[in-house]
Amino acid sequence: MKAEKTSRTAQYMAFFRALETNRNLNERLFLDPYAIHFIDSKLRLAVRLSKYAVFAKYLNNTINKKIPGALSSGIARTKYIDNLLENAVSNGVKQVIILGAGFDTRAVRLDFLKSIPVIEIDHPNTSNFKAEIYKKRIGQIPENVTFLQIDFNKEDLFQLAQKHNLDFATPTAIIWEGVTNYLTEEAIKNTFSFISKFAAKSHIIFTYVHQDILQNPDSFLGGKKLLKDLENIEEHWTFGFLPDELPTFLEQFDIALLEDLGADEYRERFLANRSERGYEFYRTAVGIKK
């Protein structure tokens, strides 16, 4: 992704959440009235037209043809992470840190976070854009939210923590969604080293892609086309884990893996009535600091 741009894939995720919000009350998995403010005018129009059943069906078919499984995977993943976060809070977490926050709106749309400090860390371009959207569309930046900016080419998370006196002693939930697949192995290890400094019982909720999608994209439905499309928008993927090796990897950072589900599994859990294939390579895991 070019530094002067906000992420296109972050827009698509906001688009998917806006579409889900526009579904009937008894059908939708969650409500995100803020997501529509982070997408461009064409996508906003598509969201508004999705209230009509014929257009909604056409839109779903079009998205699924271009990126098989991405819509249902993204929606189910959002709900899954919401639930994991709520569970973390119910088990004693007192603050939330969102790494590479993008257009995540959990701080304002989840009632159980209203009284919990939420620290969002992202590139200045995305962070500033998000702050302006909140001010223009919502009226203000929510009192429980703090935006911290980092240019990973110039400083690291440890420097950022020292600069802003981050509290490592408080049990914390760290969300790291949609980021690891864009980083190097060194950056991944440095980030987990940072995460390992937080108090015992802290939770880390993160996504990753199965390493095989990078080495053999044809082994997954739509994999080859997806990687090509990502290259075209300069958001190519660079890193993946093998699920069987993840527990051992986390152990070196004193993190115990609690659960690790692929898109097919969290779709089955939350969208069992919507039959859709694809995106099985995308996974969500949760670990706890020992």
Read off the tokens for 148: 């911290």
pLDDT band at 6 (very low <50, low <70, confident <90, very high): low
Q: What percent of the chain has pLDDT over 90?
A: 83
**Rounded to an integer, what is the distance from CA 71 to the centroid of its chain?**
13
- Confidence at residue 212, expressed as pLDDT on a 0 to 100 scale: 97
- pLDDT of amino acid 153: 66
- Cα four-point dihedral sign 50, 55, 57, 59: negative
The residues spanned by each domain of the chain are: 82-289
Backbone Cα Rg of the chain: 18
- Secondary structure (DSSP) of the chain: --TTS--HHHHHHHHHHHHHHTS-TTT-S---TTGGGGS-HHHHHHHHHTTSHHHHHHHHHHHHHHSTTHHHHHHHHHHHHHHHHHHHHHTT--EEEEET-TT--HHHH-GGGTTS-EEEEE-HHHHHHHHHHIIIIISS--TTEEEEE--TTT--HHHHHHHHT--SSS-EEEEE-S-GGGS-HHHHHHHHHHHTTSPTT-EEEEEEEBTHHHH-GGGSTTHHHHHHHHHHTT------B-GGGHHHHHHTTTEEEEEEEEHHHHHHHH-TTS-----TTEEEEEEEE-
- pLDDT tens by residue, 130-150: 999 999 988 888 889 999 999
Report whether 229 contacts 67 (CB < 8 A).
yes
Q: Over the stretch 168-178, which tens digit does the pLDDT of each residue have?
A: 999 999 999 99
Q: Tell me what the mean pLDDT of segment 90-116 comes to.
A: 96
Residue type, 47: V
| Fold (CATH) for 82-289 | Rossmann fold (3.40.50)
pLDDT of 90 higher than 80: yes
Q: For the segment 37-50, what is each residue's pLDDT rounded down to a tens digit?
A: 999 999 999 999 99
Whether 66 shows a pLDDT value over 80: the answer reads yes
